Structure 1
Amino acid sequence: MTNQQNSMHACPACGLLCDDISGEAIAKQQFSCGKAAKFYARTSNGAQPRVAGQPVSLTQAVHTAVELLKQAKTPLIAGSSTDVHGARALVSLSHHTHASMTHLNASSTLRNMQVLQHRGWQTTTLTEVRNRADVILMIGTDVVSHNTRFFERVVWVPEAMFTESAARKIIYLGGDELNTKPGVSPDGRAPEVIPCASEQLPEVVATLRALVMDKPVTVDKVAGVDVSRLRTVAETLKAAKYATLVWVSKDLHYAHAELTIENITETVVALNQKSRAMGLSLGGSDGDTSVNYAHTWLNGVIIDTPDWESHDAVVWVNSYSPDAMPPAGTKPVIVLGAADSQFEETPAVFIPVATPGLDCNGQQFRVDGSVTLPLSAAKPSDLPTLSQVIAMIETELKGVAA
C-alpha cells in the first residue's frame, strides 16, 4: 500500500471534520458518508480562467478582475466558502477594496451569533458529548442531514470515559421530515420522538423552558404537543448527569428563530442551577465557522447578511459548493471558485482556485469551535490557491494605486 493510501485526511465536507478518512477509501470511493463521497469524487481536470466565458491566461483574468474592482464603488465579497487561510486572504482583499464581506450561510450563522452577543451561552464540544452525555435532546433537527456521522463518531461509540454510550437516551423534539433511524441505540432501543412542525417550535421550546424552571403551565397542549410529554422531557433533563441540547440553526428557518435558540440556551442555564447540561450547535458547512471566526478576530465584528442591491460588484468564492452562486441577475460577478463550479449565468470573470482538503492543504475550524484541524490535499492539483490569486489581485491593485 502506498504512502498516499496509508495517509489519513480530515474531511471538510461538513463541520465534523472527520479525521479518519484514509487515502485508500478516497481512491476506492468507499465511504459511510454521502457528503464525503460527493466531495472526494470531485475533479479539477481541465479548469482554466475565463473572461465572459472565453478562456484566458491567469494574468489576463486577474487584470480584468482588478479593472472591475477599480470601477466598483461598493463591492461585496460573498460566498466566502473557504478555509482559515482563504478567509484571512478575503479579509485582506476587503480592506484593499473597501468591500463588505459576507458568507453564503450568513443568515443561519447570525441567528446563533445574535444569541451569543445578547445573552451569552453555555456550550460544549463533540469530545465532551462523546465522553459524558447521557441524555441528548435534538431540537428541530435530525443532525444527520447536516453531519452524517454524528451518531457514529460521537454518540454510539465503543468507549466513553464517564458514561455508558450504548445506554444514552435520545429524544427528538420537533422538526420536518426527520431521519431518526441513526438515533436507534446499538441494542435496538428506539429514540423518543415528539413531533411538531419547525414553525411550532417557538411555543414548544418556550414551554419546555418554563417546565424546566418549574413555572406553572396550565394548558394541556401547546402547538399540538401534549404538555405532559414535555413535562416528562423536562424531568428527564433535570435528572440527567450531563444533558446536551442540540440544534442546527439552518433548520430553524422562520422569523425570529434566534429567540428559539435563546430559549434553548436559557433552558441550559436553568438546568445548570441544580444539575449539569450544555448546548451544542451543529451544522457547519462551506467553512462558515472558520470564516466567521477569522472575520471576527481580524475585524472585530461578525459576518453579517448583505443588501445585495446596494453593491455594484461581487467577488464570489465557492470552494466547497460548486453549485452555489449569488442571486440571479447579480452583475458583475468575479468568481474565485471551485474548478467544477456550475454557472446558470456566465460570470464576468472566473478564476478556478484549489479547494482545501481536495486540491491543496488547508486549515479548518470544527463546528464546535474547539479545535482547528489541518486539511491535506487528497488529490493535489496545480490550481492556484485562493490566497495566491488574491495576492496577485492585491499586487496589481497596489501597482494601480502607486
Structure 2
Amino acid sequence: MINTEQSMHACPACGLLCDDISADAIAKQQFSCGKAAKFYARSTSLNVQPQVNGQAVNLAEAVKAAAALLQQAQSPLIAGSSTDVHGARALVRLANQSGADMTHLNAASTLRNMKVLQHRGWQTTTLTEVRNRADVILMIGTDVVTHNARFFERVVWVDEAMFTEPAARQIIYLGGDKLKTQAGTSPDGRAPQVIACPSEQLPQVVSALRALVMNKPVAGETVAGVAVSTLAALAETLKAAKYATLIWISKDLHYEHAELTIENITETVVALNQKSRAMGLSLGGSDGDTSVNYAHTWLNGVIIDAPNWQDHDAVVWVNSFSPEAMPPAEVSPVIVLGAADSLFTTPPAVFIPVATPGLDTGGQQFRVDGSVTLPLTAAKPSEVPTLAHVVALIEKAIAIEGKAA
C-alpha cells in the first residue's frame, strides 16, 4: 500500500521536476500547477493493442512490422524522442543499429542555446543557487510561468534563503508580448518592474542593454520604443546587484537568428562579472528534451540536430509525454512508439503503446538546469511495456532479419 503522507513524486510535466508531489495529491487531483494536473489526469493504461495500418495486432507482429520498415529504409529518422534518460539511451542504440538520424520535437529551440554554448560558452547557474543567492532576477522575453508554473513558488518567493532575503528580491520583466507578470509580485504586494517591447524588437533592446552594461554609448533616446534612460537604469541595477540572474526561455525567442539574442544575454552576464556577480539561467524544458540531449551528447559526442523531414524515408516517432504531438502529416511511413492515449489524425504504419515515465512506469530525468537527475516513480503503475523494452525487441528483430538476409 502506498503511504500517501510520505510518498513523493517528481513531476515530469515541465523541466522543474517538482519533487514534492504527494501520492495523496495525485489521487485527489489537487495541484497548484495546471501542467501537473493535466499530466496526472491522463489514463495511459487503456486497453490499447499495437496496430499495423490501423488494425489491432499482437506485440510480436507490430515489432516485426516496425523492424521490416526500418530495414527497408535508406535514411530513417528517430524523431519526437519524448522520453526519459533510459528511453533516450535505448533510442541512441536503435539509431546506431539502424543507421538512423535522431532528433527531438524541441530540437529547434534547443539548438538556439547550443549554438551559443558551442560558439562562446556561458556562465549559468542552478535553481538552488537562484533560490539561495539571487537578489535581482531579470526575465528576458518570457514570463517563465507559462512554461514553469511553480518557478516563483519553488525558487523565488520561498520562506528562507541562505544568502539573501527572498521577499526583498527585485523582479524585472524585459520585453515579450502579453506576459503574465502577476507571479512576480512580492509577498508584501510589491509589483515587478515591467519594461515592455514587442518580442520581435527584443534583439535590439538586449543588444543596447549589453552595451550599457559595458559602459558603451547608445545613440538616440529610445531603442525599439524603450527609453535609453530606462535601459541605463536597468544596467545600473544589474551592476549593483549582489547576485543578478538573467533568465530566458529559448522557445519564446522564436524569430530568425534568436541565438544572437541569447549570446547578447550571456555576454551581458560575462560583462557584469567583471566587477560584480551575475549568472544566466535557461529555463523551459519539456518532453524530456534536456535528458535526451544530454544522453545523445554523452553517447555520440554531438548534440541533437533539427531534422530535414524530406531527407528521410521512414520515421520512428517516440511520444511518451505529449500524446497530441505528431510528426508532419506528409511524413510516411511512420512508426509510433507512443503513449496509449496518443492522438492520431491518420493511423500510422505501426503503433506500439509504450509506458509514460513518471505515470505508469519509473524512470530518470534531468532537471532543466542540468544540475541533478531525479528518479521518476510510477504514479499509476500499468502493464504497458517501457520504451526501452520495445526498442530492445525491435533491435532483436532487425538482427534476426539481418542474419536471415
Same fold (TM over 0.5): yes
Tell me the distance in 1 between the aligned counterparts of 2:219 and 2:137.
27
Partner of 1:15: 15
| TM-score normalised according to structure 2 size | 0.98
Matched, 1:207 2:204: no
Letter in 2 for 1:75: P
Letter in 2 for 1:231: A
Tell me the distance in 2 between the aligned counterparts of 1:25 and 1:47.
27
Tell me the distance in 1 between the aligned counterparts of 2:113 and 2:358.
27
Tell me the distance in 1 between the aligned counterparts of 2:42 and 2:98.
32
Tell me the distance in 2 between the aligned counterparts of 1:298 and 1:122.
24
Partner of 1:66: 67
Tell me the distance in 1 between the aligned counterparts of 2:156 and 2:255.
29
Give the CA deviation at 1:197.
1.0
Give the CA deviation at 1:2.
4.3
Percent of residue pairs identical = 77
SS in 1 for 2:399: helix
Deviating 4+ runs (over 3 angstroms): none
Deviation readout 1:122-162 (Å, 9 max, x if unpaired): 00000000000000000000000000000000000001000
Give the CA deviation at 1:389.
0.1
Alignment coverage as a number of residue pairs: 402
| TM-score normalised according to structure 1 size | 0.99
SS in 2 for 1:3: coil
Is residue 5–residue 27 contact of structure 1 (8 Å, CA) maintained in 2?
no
Partner of 1:180: 181
Matched, 1:319 2:320: yes
Tell me the distance in 2 between the aligned counterparts of 1:218 and 1:23.
58
Tell me the distance in 2 between the aligned counterparts of 1:6 and 1:379.
17
Tell me the distance in 1 between the aligned counterparts of 2:4 and 2:344.
33
Partner of 2:334: 333
SS in 1 for 2:281: strand
Deviation readout 1:168-213 (Å, 9 max, x if unpaired): 0000000111000000000000000011111101000000000000
Is residue 79–residue 318 contact of structure 1 (8 Å, CA) maintained in 2?
yes
Give the CA deviation at 1:399.
1.0
Give the CA deviation at 1:217.
1.2
- List aligned pairs for 1:59-138, cutoff 5 A: 59-138=60-139
Partner of 2:236: 235
Give the CA deviation at 1:268.
0.1
Tell me the distance in 2 between the aligned counterparts of 1:47 and 1:211.
59
Is residue 247–residue 280 contact of structure 1 (8 Å, CA) maintained in 2?
yes
Tell me the distance in 1 between the aligned counterparts of 2:61 and 2:367.
37
In structure 2, runs of 5+ residues without a counterpart are none
Tell me the distance in 1 between the aligned counterparts of 2:346 and 2:235.
51
- List aligned pairs for 1:189-268, cutoff 5 A: 189-268=190-269
Deviation readout 1:258-291 (Å, 9 max, x if unpaired): 0000000000000000000000000000000000
Deviation readout 1:4-59 (Å, 9 max, x if unpaired): 56310000000000000000000000000000000000002212211111111010
Deviation readout 1:77-102 (Å, 9 max, x if unpaired): 00000000000000000001000000
Matched, 1:38 2:33: no
Is residue 5–residue 24 contact of structure 1 (8 Å, CA) maintained in 2?
yes
Letter in 1 for 2:176: G
Matched, 1:382 2:383: yes
Letter in 2 for 1:3: N
Tell me the distance in 2 between the aligned counterparts of 1:163 and 1:252.
30
Give the CA deviation at 1:3.
1.9
- List aligned pairs for 1:253-402, cutoff 5 A: 253-402=254-403
In structure 1, runs of 5+ residues without a counterpart are none
Partner of 2:165: 164
Is residue 6–residue 24 contact of structure 1 (8 Å, CA) maintained in 2?
no
Deviation readout 1:303-346 (Å, 9 max, x if unpaired): 00011001000000010000000011110000001110011121
Tell me the distance in 1 between the aligned counterparts of 2:207 and 2:2.
55
Letter in 2 for 1:264: I
Letter in 1 for 2:377: S
Partner of 1:155: 156
Tell me the distance in 2 between the aligned counterparts of 1:298 and 1:60.
30
Tell me the distance in 2 between the aligned counterparts of 1:166 and 1:364.
31
Give the CA deviation at 1:218.
2.3
Tell me the distance in 2 between the aligned counterparts of 1:100 and 1:201.
34
SS in 2 for 1:6: coil
SS in 1 for 2:189: coil
SS in 2 for 1:79: strand
Tell me the distance in 2 between the aligned counterparts of 1:197 and 1:112.
21
SS in 2 for 1:315: strand
